[in-house]
């Protein structure tokens, strides 16, 4: 069980519900009791996103439509990288993940961050790094954070191949339009009750451990991960978007258990997201040398457990295990 909630917790919950810019608790303060410091009416972002037109649907072309041309060859190389990043982009990967772990069905599945819904939204400003990002830079960030590796040069064969694959997949999609199925479905998705560590552990043991292992370290076949590790040294690092509770909960609700997305209740999804992200993982590559300072600078969000104390451990302060 997580340690007892301190006196600041009610105010913390109120601040989150109102999505105010109030100051964060110190890194030495416990995040929660068995109930997490995320209230039932938590806002998912600190600032409102600009309103955008939403297309009804988009269907990417079938894989067998990839042309038998030099461009088609590059598209296939991009798809190969996407499906088996360990083999085809090994120099830039630092963990046991591949692109298709978070972007399901080779990046084609709606509500699993499909790549065809991302292509037309770049270039765009991202608050994460405070400037306008190209799509190539967005891909570089995936390698740096989700893959816990290093960014390929923007003109490298890896980035060019991935861009070619996504460009081909997005053929016919409008640009500058937030397509239906983009990202993970977070609109109005809030926990009925504050997420709870103990409940999340039960959800994990009942629904997730079969594939991801009792210790959350994934499962291998012939030396390769067939189910990804959810925390620990081979998982995504503290800078990855999936470490945020709202992102993880929305992905889990829509897509997990694999092939049975939607079977978990909203509460179960939030609870197990908290349980998953209350474990240690590789350090944020932007680490300043201080967990408290890194939280203040990069994790100033109620959706991040980085820099909070869970079960007596300051998350972000130790080696993942």
- The per-residue pLDDT for range 98-137, each reduced to its tens digit, is 999 999 999 999 999 999 999 999 999 999 999 999 999 9
Q: Report if residue 175 sits inside a domain.
A: no
Domain shared by 165 and 216, yes or no: no
Asked, for residue 52, whether it belongs to a domain, the answer is no
Is residue 120 included in any domain, yes or no?
yes
Opening angle at CA 21, ends 17 and 24, nearest 5: 90
Domain shared by 77 and 131, yes or no: yes
CATH number at residue 147: 1.10.760.10
Residue 2 inside a domain? The answer is no
Domain boundary among 136, 169, 202: 169
The domain total for the chain is 2
- Which is nearest to 165 in space by CA: 96, 224, 118? 118
Torsional sign, CA 125, 129, 133, 139: negative
Claim: this prediction has a pTM higher than 0.75: yes
Neighbours of 120 (CB within 10 A): 19
186: in domain = no
Residues 162 and 197 in one domain: no
Residue 165 and residue 204 in one domain: no
For residues 26 and 119, state if they share a domain. Answer: no
Contact call for residues 72 and 78 (beta carbons, < 8 A): no
Residue 188 burial (C-beta neighbours within 10 Å; 0-12, 13-18, 19+): exposed
Same domain, 156 and 205: no
Q: 288 in a domain, yes or no?
A: yes
Average per-residue pLDDT for the chain = 87
Q: Is residue 215 part of a domain?
A: yes
To the nearest whole percent, how much of the chain has pLDDT over 70?
A: 82
Distance CA 168, CA 60 (A): 9
Residue range 24-36, pLDDT digits in tens: 333 333 444 344 4
Band of pLDDT at residue 318, cut at 50, 70 and 90: confident
Pair 114, 153 in one domain: yes
What domain range includes position 68? 63-169
Tell me, yes or no, whether 24 and 115 share the same domain.
no
φ/ψ of residue 181, rounded to 5:
95, 0
144 and 228 co-located in one domain: no
Domain end among 154, 169, 184:
169
Cis peptide bond N-terminal to 123, omega within 30: yes
Residues 213 and 157 in one domain: no
d(CA 16, CA 27): 17
Shared-domain flag, residues 90 and 142 = yes
Claim to verify: residue 76 and residue 138 sit in the same structural domain: yes
Residue 155 lies in a domain: yes
Question: What does the alpha-carbon distance between residue 293 and residue 232 come to, in Å, rounded to a whole number?
Answer: 22
Q: Residues 205-221: pLDDT tens digits?
A: 999 999 999 999 999 99
């Amino acid at each position: 069980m997580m340690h007892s909630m301190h006196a600041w917790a009610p105010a913390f919950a109120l601040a989150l519900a109102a999505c105010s810019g109030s100051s964060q608790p110190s890194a030495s303060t416990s995040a929660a009791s068995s109930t997490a410091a995320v209230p039932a009416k938590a806002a998912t972002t600190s600032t409102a996103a600009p309103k955008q037109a939403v297309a009804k649907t988009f269907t990417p072309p079938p894989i067998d439509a990839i042309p038998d041309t030099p461009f088609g060859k590059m598209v296939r190389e991009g798809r190969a990288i996407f499906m088996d990043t360990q083999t085809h982009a090994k120099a830039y990967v630092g963990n046991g993940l591949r692109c298709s772990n978070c972007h399901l069905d080779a990046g084609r599945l709606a509500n699993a961050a499909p790549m065809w819904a991302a292509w037309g939204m770049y270039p765009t400003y991202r608050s994460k790094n405070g400037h306008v990002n190209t799509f190539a830079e967005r891909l570089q960030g995936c390698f740096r954070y989700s893959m816990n590796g290093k960014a390929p040069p923007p003109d490298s064969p890896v980035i060019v191949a991935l861009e070619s694959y996504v460009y081909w997949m997005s053929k016919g999609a409008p640009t500058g339009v937030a397509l239906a199925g983009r990202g993970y479905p977070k609109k109005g998705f809030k926990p009925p009750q504050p997420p709870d560590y103990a409940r999340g552990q039960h959800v994990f043991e009942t629904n997730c451990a079969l594939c991801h292992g009792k210790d959350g370290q994934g499962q291998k076949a012939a030396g390769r991960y067939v189910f990804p590790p959810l925390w620990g040294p081979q998982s995504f690092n503290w800078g990855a978007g999936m470490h945020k509770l709202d992102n993880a909960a929305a992905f889990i609700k829509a897509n997990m258990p694999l092939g049975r997305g939607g079977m978990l209740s909203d509460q179960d999804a939030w609870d197990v997201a908290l349980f998953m992200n209350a474990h240690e993982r590789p350090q944020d590559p932007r680490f300043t040398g201080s967990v408290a300072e890194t939280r203040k600078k990069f994790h100033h969000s109620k959706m991040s457990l980085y820099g909070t104390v869970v079960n007596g451990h300051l998350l972000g302060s130790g080696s993942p295990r």
